[in-house]
Structure 1
Amino acid sequence: MATWRRSAVLATLWTLVIVCVIPFDLISNGASNDDDESPLGFGDESGENSMLLDLEAFGMAKEPMEIAHTDSLSDSDQLEVELAALPTNGFRSEKDGIVNQLTNQEIGNNGLEKPKERQEKIDVSAVNPKDASVLVKQGNNSEIRTENHIIASPSKLSRGPIIFHDAMIHRLKDQLTKAKASLSLQSTLSDSNFTKELCTQIRDVQRALGDATKDSDLPKNAEDKLKALEESLTKSKQIQDDCPAVVRKLDAKYQPVRNKLRDDKRFASVLTQNVAKSLPREIHCLALRLTAQYYASSSSQQQFPNVEKLEDPKLYHYVLISDNVLAAGVVVKSAVYFANEPENHVFHILTDEIHYAAMSMWFLANPPGEAAIEVRYMEEFSWINSSYSPAMKQLESDSLIDFYFKTRNVLPDGNLKYRNPKYLSMLNHLRFYIPEIFPKLNKVIFLDDDIVVQQDLTGLWSIDLKGMVNGAVETCRDDFHRFSQYLNFSNPLIVKTDVDPQSCGWAFGMNIFDLVEWRKKNITDIYHYWQNLNDNRSLWQLGTLPVGLLAFWKQTMPISKTWHVLGLGYNREISHDDIKQAAVIHFNGNSKPWLETAIPHFRRYWTRFVDYDQVYLRDCKMKSF
């Protein structure tokens, strides 16, 4: 009886060997449902009684049909899982019973029964069966599983290959991806013959792949085409340039682009400066109409009321220097709007002779309520001349005129902003003569014409300057806006002073000037001293802030930043919360609020104080942007 059973077992095993070596397409009975089958899954679907085939033990070919790529695996922990087509449902249905008998049968009491062992299983259901490689190592009792079926254990893998289904399709797709990536490399494209060869092979592989979803759908020459593509990919690795060579080539290639970009940036900067230093046609129109109306008025109509307040030191005095009628109007209107006691505020407008009539007519037509106002022009201060003022003398010099108007002879210095006409105007330097222009005043608030007032400013007069002349908001942040950025500290004339290059800069635009201390400490004379030394512009370029830093050195008291928020003319990142909390906002920069280049989300803070229904604005067709 035992002999008969052993014969039956041997016969069954030989039958399995013969069936396994028969080509897949000869035993397949139609397409299998891959979604319901697990690779090498035999027996019930739960996999609890699955049998692990050791193909090598049966004498099958050791060479796998397809080999997965295991580039990411390493050392002894790697197990290369080989892929090939599996038998279909037809094959399984015929052999499942025999296999189950072999694996589950109790042989009897002849001592041949092998006790069942419960092995620890590693769930690798997260592993995609389509992946090119699978690696699992977890001691001697480890097993690889896909979905609910055991694939193999390390002990079995060590003695024979494991075969997956549709390996060729996965390899074709894998190599196509690599080939396309190689084709994008500059070193590959530089070899036209190789590029043509690689393109041809990519096209052949794509045609062979077609719409195939399993290996049996592929043409017979698919493997040959794949091998040819792999050989080309190996060749592509050999012709790749080293990284430094590629960097040098790219650098040489893009240097002209960088040069063009630098030139374009400089040209854009020129255009930006041209826009910033110009006035819109509508504002020119406004000035002309106001001038015509002023001279058409009688002398009695040209007088401002409340002249008795102009020299009263007990009131709150503001000094505004401008030749922009509309901008000056916004400053005064916003300051009066927020003033708690507007009748105690006095505005002194300083302009030039050209704009005097227009400026006067604007405030005559738009009086600031109960506040007092006067308009004066620079030319009436005859004592400000080239004999007294170094700035006046320099502005009339041939060298400065050449710097502005013969720029083709001047080397590019990157400081195009200094070629702004405002630096040719003495109005820009008039702030240093405020104590002499208003000899009866003790304290004033100096305002630029590109600011907007948002709170009552009377609190500024109560700030204790501790004997200093200038109260201002500091502008430094990290290494920005330090004295070293405005002044040439390599010049011996500055080096020998005690001026600290790391001192924090401050801003003109809203300043508290104690005129009593100014006169006592001769700040205007200090200004003259430094302005004379800078005749050749070796200490600083142009503008009034650098010389102001020197003139007010150790005479500036920092005040809270909430009094004065700057940057609305260039910095788009300023917080709206900071703006709302500020007493004064400053549109310093090229994007002035009256220009089309203004920063859109900041412009409304300025335009809300412009009445576009005003007759002069309407006549000049001025409208909000």
Structure 2
Amino acid sequence: MTIPVFYSISDDYTKYAAVSLNSLVKHANSANDYTVYFLNQDLTDEHKKDLAAFGSDNIHIKFYTIDEQVVEAIEDRPENYLKADFFTMSIFYRLYIPDLFPQYDKAIYIDADTIINEDIANLYETELGNNLFGACMDSSIQYVPKMITYIKEVLALDPKKYINSGVLVLNCQAFRDEHFVAHFTDLLTKYHFDCIATDQDYLNEICEGRIFYLDPKWDAMPNENTEAIAQPGIIHYNLFFKPWHFADVQYAQYFWDNAKETKFYAELKAGLDNYTDKEREQDRNKLNFMLSKEDKTIKDPQNWAQVKKQGPVTL
């Protein structure tokens, strides 16, 4: 049995992906077989070589270039911006995994700003039943009033059931059977929903009622309002407060322990040392900028809540 694991990255994220991959490889069981794919559009040959170096007899590192025709429906326009700030196509790649890799009935997707602390096979063994995917409730937004209002009033969803898309166990067969990509594309092009979390909002809406909620340890996100999980399976440095920019981030030591084992450690450490207070303040303000969409979208007559009154958007 092969355990397929997918990352989606742009070339400038290679050093962070390398740290995540190092942590995955360290905890992989030698009795299992793993294939790790990096979905991308711009990885350099040098960075492919850097990532491929983590491979072994039972861990196969592969690269898949996303054809622009596959994602041509996703345009560079404000409602598709990542965190309301800028456009990056890579955040949408995860939605296409089941169709692009029909050989897999099940797969894992993880963001590159993660650290894996146990065998990823344990997560892969999750029984999904008829659910479309497994994910964790988004704990990073539970103490953010504007985000809670956005989820309730704009998305018309329960904030306690709103998932984070940084760690997914995909029921690939169900995605294909239900024609997820066709439905996603239809909604995207018909309504142009103005989203705070883009791909994440679509997953929450389209798959509502068919989401398996994972143990929170599989997507432990730094949060100053909560105690750290004692034994996190996967740490996800979500949003803007990254350990390579902020020294006091919850779970930061896990990142640096793994970073020290990669060729990128000196570069990453220099990045932290040279990051200015002004840049950190800009990062803090990015959260407010992201949340400013709530004021606009709550009045939008074509927001998710209003469209859902006309009929279901779920599969």
For 1:14-45, what per-residue CA distance to the aligned partner results, in whole angstroms no more than 9, with x for missing partners? xxxxxxxxxxxxxxxxxxxxxxxxxxxxxxxx
Q: Which amino acid aligns with 1:338?
A: H
Residue 457 in 1 paired to residue 120 in 2? yes
Change (3 A) 1:559 1:522: same
Residue 565 in 1 paired to residue 231 in 2? no
Change (3 A) 1:621 1:608: closer
Q: Secondary structure at the match of 2:252?
A: helix
RMSD, matched Cα: 3.3
Q: Secondary structure at the match of 2:161?
A: coil
Q: Spell out the pairing of 1:202-221 with structure 2 (5 A cutoff).
A: none
Q: Which amino acid aligns with 2:2?
A: L
Partner of 2:183: 526
Partner of 2:150: 485
Partner of 2:312: none
After the TM superposition, which of the residue ranges 525-534 and 557-566 deviates more from structure 2? Answer: 525-534
Q: 2: CA distance between counterparts of 1:448 and 1:552?
A: 20
Q: Spell out the pairing of 1:26-175 with structure 2 (5 A cutoff).
A: none
Q: 2: CA distance between counterparts of 1:487 and 1:527?
A: 21
Q: Spell out the pairing of 1:242-281 with structure 2 (5 A cutoff).
A: none
Q: 2: CA distance between counterparts of 1:620 and 1:446?
A: 24
Cα distance, 1:468 vs. partner?
0.8
Contact 1:612–1:618 at 8 Å: present in 2 too?
no
Tell me which of 168, 171, 178 is aligned to 1:514. 171
Residue 594 in 1 paired to residue 244 in 2? yes
Q: Which amino acid aligns with 1:443?
A: K
Partner of 2:40: 351
Cα distance, 1:506 vs. partner?
0.9
For 1:273-320, what per-residue CA distance to the aligned partner results, in whole angstroms no more than 9, with x for missing partners? xxxxxxxxxxxxxxxxxxxxxxxxxxxxxxxxxxxxxxxxx3111000
Cα distance, 1:589 vs. partner?
2.0
Contact 2:135–2:169 at 8 Å: present in 1 too?
yes
Cα distance, 1:331 vs. partner?
1.4
Runs (5+) with no aligned partner, structure 1 = 1-313, 405-415
For 1:444-472, what per-residue CA distance to the aligned partner results, in whole angstroms no more than 9, with x for missing partners? 11100111001112122332212111101
Cα distance, 1:430 vs. partner?
1.1
Contact 2:110–2:168 at 8 Å: present in 1 too?
yes
Q: Secondary structure at the match of 2:18?
A: helix
Tell me which of 330, 352, 360 is aligned to 2:48. 360
Contact 1:593–1:606 at 8 Å: present in 2 too?
yes
Structure 1 segments of 4 or more deviating over 6 A? 478-483
Q: Which amino acid aligns with 2:259?
A: V
Partner of 1:436: 99
More helix by share: 1
For 1:378-428, what per-residue CA distance to the aligned partner results, in whole angstroms no more than 9, with x for missing partners? 2xx243143xx2x2xx31x5xx49x98xxxxxxxxxxx9411x3xx12111
Contact 1:593–1:599 at 8 Å: present in 2 too?
yes
For 1:42-89, what per-residue CA distance to the aligned partner results, in whole angstroms no more than 9, with x for missing partners? xxxxxxxxxxxxxxxxxxxxxxxxxxxxxxxxxxxxxxxxxxxxxxxx
Tell me which of 75, 88, 93 is aligned to 1:425. 88
Partner of 2:133: 470
Q: 2: CA distance between counterparts of 1:486 and 1:620?
A: 35
Q: 2: CA distance between counterparts of 1:480 and 1:466?
A: 34
Tell me which of 318, 328, 339 is aligned to 2:5. 318
Change (3 A) 1:478 1:604: closer
Contact 1:471–1:558 at 8 Å: present in 2 too?
yes
Taking structure 2 as the reference length, what is the TM-score of the superposition?
0.74
Cα distance, 1:561 vs. partner?
1.5
Percent identity between the two aligned chains = 16
Cα distance, 1:508 vs. partner?
1.1
Q: Secondary structure at the match of 1:473?
A: strand
Residue 328 in 1 paired to residue 14 in 2? no
Partner of 1:219: none
Contact 1:359–1:375 at 8 Å: present in 2 too?
no
Cα distance, 1:442 vs. partner?
1.2
Contact 1:446–1:512 at 8 Å: present in 2 too?
yes
Higher relative contact order (CA 8 A, sep 6+): 2
Q: Which amino acid aligns with 1:426?
A: M
Runs (5+) with no aligned partner, structure 2 = 274-315
Aligned residues: 269
Bigger Rg, which one: 1
More strand by share: 2
Contact 2:115–2:235 at 8 Å: present in 1 too?
yes
Taking structure 1 as the reference length, what is the TM-score of the superposition?
0.39
